[in-house]
């Protein structure tokens, strides 16, 4: 019987479908070893939605490629990835291909990565079904293909089976990819930026399709995104990554309303909050993440952190249970599940997101922003608000089906 990571103390073993423990991925590069993922642990519980968020390059995709066994040869992977009780790391390609696509479904950012332009949609869906069940009759395959397109909201599914990918709009193509990912009733769907390449008005439709697919199959969802609006809408739990590590993990409510790691506070502060009804200036996190070839010895966020003190640069903080009252304790001693990697997280206790954000804002961005940058930020708030409030009329390309069709 395998142990659950500490962040799931109190959760029943049978409720956990995916367990990633101390995962590390290092790429051999001409400049030296690049440590893309460093000691990452998380679990995915049956039927839940776990969002993985973080800036570009933080290791979100590499993590999911490691889970799927799809990393290139220059990657060295250590740790453990267990699907149920089955260890996936080190499994042969043949054994892994039985799990991939059947028990673990994957959706990538660009639907054309998954779809072959020269085959009809029905043929590609049928192939996904047959790959894992050679005995299916033609009628059964056709009926299931129609059912799958229905689930993801493609109208006139029976007629659309004979269309080619280029005859569909981007949003419809991504819905076909979702249909392929759930074709064999997977236990886990991993979606890596599934809406990033799509027009903002189409994103909502694709997210609805993803939710419908998850409900239909009862699968757990690992949703990788840098869009916190998507996280707010879809996630039960959130894992924030920075420089290849988890720096905050908790329920979506805890992470959104009671963030305990300055980086998370910064991420949330760069998102307009329409629900307040007030105009608030966004405060960007200045600077960029450290090079994964030469990581600093202490907290990797220190060079950008408005709360950084000398102590932060001495050693990298561990991911510990956040303080509510009294002393900060290592997560091993506690059964609750809000963790942060910050030696000053206790100072954010008692502050909601807005109050935490003011600490960040006062110390960092705005005071040294030139006037033109402040005005550019104000404009960006207005743009996002109007895109969300009114929607933008994305027109389908000639020859494509409209997503709202």
Ligand X SMILES: Nc1ncnc2c1ncn2[C@@H]1O[C@H](COP(=O)(O)OP(=O)(O)OP(=O)(O)O)[C@@H](O)[C@H]1O
What residue ranges bind ligand SF4 (CB under 6 A)? Answer: 261-262, 299, 301-302, 305, 307-308, 312, 317, 342-344
Among ligand SF4, Mg ion, ligand X, none, the one that 302 touches (CB under a kind-dependent 5 to 8 A) is ligand SF4
DSSP element (H, E) containing 145: helix 138-151
8 Å CB contact between 125 and 116:
no
**C-alpha distances out from residue 212 to 165, 179, 205, 221, 223, Å:** 21, 10, 11, 12, 15
The least distance separating ligand X from the CB of residue 255, rounded to whole angstroms, comes to 17
Q: Which residue has the tokens 């060079």?
A: 303
Q: Does 203 bind Mg ion (CB under 5 A)?
A: no
Q: Out of 43, 49, 61, 169, point to the residue binding Mg ion (CB under 5 A).
A: 61
Q: Does 225 bind Mg ion (CB under 5 A)?
A: no
8 Å CB contact between 240 and 264:
yes
Q: Are strands 188-192 and 104-107 parallel, antiparallel or unpaired?
A: parallel
The Cα 358–Cα 322 span in angstroms is 20
What number of other Cβ atoms are within 10 A of residue 309's Cβ? 11
Residue range at the interface with Mg ion (CB under 5 A); choices 8-16, 56-64, 251-259, 358-366:
56-64
Beta strands across the sheet bearing 320-321: 104-107, 188-192, 220-224, 49-53, 237-242, 245-251, 339-340, 320-321
Residues engaged in binding ligand X (CB under 6 A): 27, 29, 34, 36, 54, 56-62, 72, 74, 226, 292
* Complex with Mg ion: residue 26 or 401, whichever CB lies closer: 26
Joined together, the tokens standing for residue 167 give: 């005859």
Residue range at the interface with Mg ion (CB under 5 A); choices 57-65, 71-79, 126-134, 332-340:
57-65
* Complex with ligand SF4: residue 27 or 301, whichever CB lies closer: 301
The least distance separating ligand SF4 from the CB of residue 361, rounded to whole angstroms, comes to 15
DSSP annotation of 14: G
Q: Which residue has the tokens 């419809």?
A: 172
The number of residues making up the chain comes to 405
Which of these, 37, 36, 34, 45, lies nearest to 80 by C-alpha position? 37
* Complex with ligand X: residue 29 or 156, whichever CB lies closer: 29
* Three-state secondary-structure class, residue 154: coil
Among ligand SF4, Mg ion, ligand X, none, the one that 29 touches (CB under a kind-dependent 5 to 8 A) is ligand X
The least distance separating Mg ion from the CB of residue 267, rounded to whole angstroms, comes to 16
Q: How far is CA 214 from the centre of its chain?
A: 15
Among ligand SF4, ligand X, Mg ion, none, the one that 153 touches (CB under a kind-dependent 5 to 8 A) is none
Cα angle 198, 199, 204 (rounded to 5 degrees) comes to 85
* Complex with ligand X: residue 243 or 356, whichever CB lies closer: 243
The least distance separating ligand SF4 from the CB of residue 359, rounded to whole angstroms, comes to 10
Among ligand X, ligand SF4, Mg ion, none, the one that 179 touches (CB under a kind-dependent 5 to 8 A) is none
The least distance separating Mg ion from the CB of residue 21, rounded to whole angstroms, comes to 22
The least distance separating ligand SF4 from the CB of residue 308, rounded to whole angstroms, comes to 4
Q: Does 169 bind Mg ion (CB under 5 A)?
A: no
The least distance separating ligand SF4 from the CB of residue 298, rounded to whole angstroms, comes to 7
* Complex with ligand SF4: residue 153 or 266, whichever CB lies closer: 266
Q: Are strands 245-251 and 16-29 parallel, antiparallel or unpaired?
A: unpaired
Residue range at the interface with Mg ion (CB under 5 A); choices 58-66, 199-207, 260-268, 321-329:
58-66
The least distance separating ligand SF4 from the CB of residue 357, rounded to whole angstroms, comes to 14
Which of these, 233, 285, 238, lies nearest to 258 by C-alpha position? 238
Binding site for Mg ion (CB under 5 A): 61
């Amino acid at each position: 019987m395998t142990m659950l990571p500490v962040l799931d103390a109190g959760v029943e073993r049978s409720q956990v479908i995916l367990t990633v423990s101390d995962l590390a991925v290092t790429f051999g590069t001409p400049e030296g070893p690049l440590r893309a993922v460093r000691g990452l642990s998380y679990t995915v519980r049956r039927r839940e939605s776990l969002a993985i968020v973080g800036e570009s390059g933080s290791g979100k995709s590499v993590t999911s490629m490691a889970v799927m066994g799809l990393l290139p040869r220059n990657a060295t992977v250590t740790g453990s990835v267990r699907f149920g009780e089955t260890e996936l790391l080190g499994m042969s390609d043949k054994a892994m291909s039985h799990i991939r696509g059947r028990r673990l479904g994957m959706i990538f950012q660009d639907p054309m990565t998954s779809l072959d332009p020269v085959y009809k949609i029905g043929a590609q869906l049928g192939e996904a079904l047959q790959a894992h069940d050679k005995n299916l009759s033609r009628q059964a395959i056709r009926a299931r293909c129609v059912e799958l397109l229905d689930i993801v909201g493609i109208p006139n599914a029976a007629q659309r089976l004979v269309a080619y990918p280029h005859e569909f709009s981007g949003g419809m193509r991504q819905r076909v990819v979702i249909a392929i990912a759930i074709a064999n009733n997977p236990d886990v769907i991993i979606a890596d930026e599934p809406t990033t390449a799509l027009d903002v008005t189409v994103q909502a439709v694709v997210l609805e399709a993803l939710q419908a697919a998850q409900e239909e199959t009862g699968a757990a969802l690992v949703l990788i995104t840098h869009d916190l609006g998507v996280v707010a809408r879809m996630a039960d739990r959130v894992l924030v990554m920075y420089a290849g590590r988890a720096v905050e993990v908790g329920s979506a409510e805890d992470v959104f309303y009671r963030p305990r790691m300055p980086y998370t506070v910064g991420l949330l502060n760069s998102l307009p909050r329409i629900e307040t009804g007030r105009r608030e200036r966004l405060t960007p996190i200045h600077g960029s993440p450290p090079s994964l070839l030469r990581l600093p010895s202490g907290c990797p966020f220190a060079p950008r952190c408005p709360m950084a003190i000398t102590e932060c640069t001495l050693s990298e903080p561990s991911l510990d249970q956040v303080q509510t009252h009294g002393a900060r304790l290592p997560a091993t001693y506690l059964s609750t599940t809000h963790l942060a990697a910050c030696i000053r997280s206790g100072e954010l206790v008692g502050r909601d997101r807005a109050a935490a954000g003011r600490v960040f804002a006062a110390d960092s961005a705005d005071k040294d922003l030139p006037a033109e940058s402040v005005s550019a930020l104000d404009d960006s708030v207005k743009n996002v608000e109007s895109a969300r409030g009114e929607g933008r009329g994305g027109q389908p390309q000639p020859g494509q089906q409209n997503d709202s069709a």
